Amino acid sequence: MNSSRENTITRHLPASVRRMFDTIAPRYDLLNHLLSFGLDIRWRKKAVKFLAVQKEGKFLDIGAGTGDVSMEIMKAMPAYVIGADFSLNMLDIFRKKMGPGETRASLVSCDALSLPFRDEIFDGTIVAFGIRNFRDRLLAMREMLRVLKPGGISVILELSRPRKPIVSQLYWIYSRALLPLVGRIISRHNSAYRYLPESIRGFPLEEEFLPLMVKAGYNETKAYTLTFGAATIYVGRKNKV
């Protein structure tokens, strides 16, 4: 990774990232849908399908934010879903979406690098659009693996950089000009949507991230590119033995 780019990104981590997400929480869903042209909804649905949700299964949504992924998991009627995030404002919005009668979901405020759960209790874990914000991605994945049952699946959905020349150029113009402008106007946060493209550019490419998953202890690792490379789903399984 380019050292100046890495320095730019790590300046934001971790306390300032928490403050940033707390600030933009009320407009987070709107901006996600608007800035992705609604594709984020489709991407989340595809990512959840890789979890192979069972009706008696137990699932952990890390970096759950306002709860869209957890709500998608709950459609398959699992035993329960835990939504974990370090932003209390995000979790407050998630709580309002659930309503008072929902008993299959619990919300926990915690650090993804130190999950407050016992070993091997979840059938699946997922993090959507969050791992690029984690200070130590390898440690975060090891934590995901630790709480996963043998044979369980971890799914990571993350924004990525298109690599085909024409698409890459259009994406560069969009991410450097339009995205920060619209994000600043709607979120009323001066730097949040400048940080977003910076964090995407600083995230490892597929051929770099898959070996990191293997290093964390995952088997059967695969990557699935979405929408010309604008997002990628990574899947790994915990050894059954």
- Whether residue 151 is predicted with pLDDT greater than 90 in this model: the reply is yes
Q: Give me the CATH number covering residue 211.
A: 3.40.50.150
- Whether residue 142 is predicted with pLDDT greater than 70 in this model: the reply is yes
pLDDT classification of 3: cutoffs 50, 70, 90: very low
Q: Is residue 7 part of a domain?
A: no
CA atoms of 53 and 56, how far apart (whole Å)? 8
Nearest to 63 by CA among 10, 170, 135: 135
Domain count for the chain, please give it: 1
Average pLDDT over residues 67-73: 96
Q: Is residue 191 part of a domain?
A: no
Which amino acid, residue 90?
Answer: M
Give the domain extent around 54.
Answer: 12-161+202-237
pLDDT cut 70: percent of the chain above it: 93
pLDDT top residue among 164 and 121: 121
Q: Is residue 6 part of a domain?
A: no
Q: Is residue 171 part of a domain?
A: no
Structure tokens at 38: 């609604």
In this prediction, residue 190 carries a pLDDT of 67
In this prediction, residue 122 carries a pLDDT of 98
Q: Is residue 170 part of a domain?
A: no
pLDDT classification of 132: cutoffs 50, 70, 90: very high
Q: Which residues of 206-235 are buried (b: 16+ CB within 10 A; e: fewer)?
A: eeebbeebeebebeebebeebeebbbbbbb
Which amino acid, residue 103?
Answer: T
* Contact by Cβ (8 Å): 160, 229: yes
* Contact by Cβ (8 Å): 12, 201: no
Alpha-carbon distances of 171 from 7, 147, 197, 238, rounded to whole Å: 23, 36, 10, 35
Nearest to 157 by CA among 26, 62, 28: 62
